[in-house]
Amino acid sequence: MLLQFTFKNYKSFKDETTLDMIASSIKEHESDVAVDAFDERVLKVVAIFGANASGKSNVFKAFEFMVEYVKKSLDKSESRALNAEPFAFSAQKESEPSSFEVIFSAGTDIFQYGFTLRSRKIHEEYLYKRDKNTKKENYLILFYRTENGIEELSQELSSAKELLELLNEEVLTLTMLSNFKFEITKTVYQWFKQISIMDYGEILSDRERIPFRSSSENPLVQILLDVEKKKTLEQFIQAIDTGIEGLDAVVFEGKDADNNQYYAIVASHKNIDDDKLTFSFINDESSGTRKLISLYVYLEQVLETGGVLFADELDAKLHPLLLRYLINMFHDPATNPNNAQLIFTTHDVFTLDKDNFRRDEIWFVDKDERGVSDLYSLAEYKQENGMKTRNDASYGKDYILGKYNAIPNLKKLTDDGEAVRHGE
């Protein structure tokens, strides 16, 4: 489980910023909270709200950059396509490095891993493991790296010392060690691999996720070829009222370059006059339906493994009740027995109430007049009167009224074309 994500000097976030998944002491929706390896209470859902261009998608992109760089830093062509874009509106942007850090639990351990880089050159990288022999929060060093190379290395990684002397300045230690027989770094690397990242703000992204012809390697095809997983998927699409009775993967002509069979995804519907089934290709379904089916592939993987799903603009093309349905899937221990986590950005105010969220699950991003973004939770936010938000407040209504900031500063155009704030 993700416990904290901290980053600095990335896109619109100039200062150190933390998304904290550790549950606060508030007493609401207790069953919506999971427990980590050290019996700490952890959130399973976080929703991030904010105006357009406020920077909420940059939280998503910062997390995505860290995950992708860990997975790809060993591949020069792949890693150079990634860009740790620093805060632009500063004279020091060329000299200040960007930093990324996560604290997470995996199995019975808790790890702290992070790195700092500038222009793809690693300035610092570290990995710690929490000490199980003390109740006090204490971390044991596994490795610590600077621009000069590995400064500290634990006993269990000592045999990698000569290997790490060959490290390229653009390659992460974690990425390199994941290719060798070091169980501790394999565990950490595998945690990054099981993270699912989706951007539903991309144009036509839902159409691209379900191609007309898919090989047997396609995750949706694999679900449909498994009897039990297919049954669960069909129960899901029937529960959300898509009108689809069933889905099948039908053998299609040809094979891919790896000799994998091609399949076409076919949906079945009942005729209104005789209840007989009519079949159609999945591409003939609405974009919203295709989105839900492609989304289910991620849900199935994350819920099964207890992973992390980070989704940008999850509410795009989703009815608010469907969004609420997905949130409940993660909150409910029956559908989420492995404590998978859902973190998403959204504009959907309909779900922004005390029935759907704890206050510490609601986060906002606001951008000041300098272009600097700030991330904060509703549980910690203090209004102008110095008071925190009560759990009986109308979160959605108060948000629209500007009580938590993080809304557009709308202006109107005068007859001469000058923009002025409404009410002036």
Task: Read off the CATH number of the domain in which 352 is found.
Answer: 3.40.50
Same domain, 287 and 376: no
Parallel, antiparallel or unpaired: strands 277-281 and 33-35: unpaired
Q: Within 37-122, where are the H helices?
A: 56-72, 76-79
Place of tokens 């904010």: 50
Among 252, 271, 293, identify where a domain stops: 293
Give the pLDDT score at 103. Answer: 98
Cβ atoms 220, 241 nearer than 8 A: no
146 in the same domain as 191: yes
CA distance 291 to 202: 12
pLDDT of 422 = 44
Q: Are residues 185 and 217 in the same domain?
A: no
| 18 and 122 within one domain | yes
Same domain, 214 and 175: no
Is the domain of 231 the same as that of 187?
A: no
Report the amino acid identity of residue 204: L
Domain boundary among 236, 268, 293: 293
Whole-angstrom Cα Rg for the chain: 24
Is residue 352 a part of any domain in this protein? yes
Dist CA 98 CA 89 (whole Å)? 14
Could you tell me if residue 167 is inside a domain?
A: yes
| Pair 120, 16 in one domain | yes
Q: Do 70 and 37 sit in the same domain of this protein? A: yes
In whole angstroms, how far apart are CA 409 and each of 52, 298, 406? 10, 35, 9
The structural domain count of the chain equals 2
pLDDT of residue 417: 52
Q: Do the domain assignments include residue 6? A: yes
Beta bridge partners of 241: none
Of 393, 388, 404, nearest in space to 354 by CA: 393
Identify whether residues 189 and 207 lie together within a single domain: no
**Together in a domain, 341 and 321:** yes
Residue 392 inside a domain? The answer is: yes
Domain that holds residue 145: 2-195+307-400
pLDDT of residue 318: 83
Answer yes or no: do 288 and 142 share one domain. no
Is the pTM higher than 0.85? The answer reads: yes
The predicted structure's pLDDT at residue 359: 96
* The last residue of a domain, from among 260, 293, 326: 293
Low-confidence ranges of the chain (pLDDT < 70): 91-95, 202-209, 410-424
- Please indicate, yes or no, whether residues 158 and 86 belong to a single structural domain of this protein: yes
The owner of tokens 């992070």 is 114
Give the contacts of 64 (CB within 8 A, at least 6 positions apart). Answer: 197, 310
DSSP codes of every residue in 277-334? EEEEEGGGS-HHHHHHHHHHHHHHHHHHHT-EEEEETTTTT--HHHHHHHHHHHH-TT
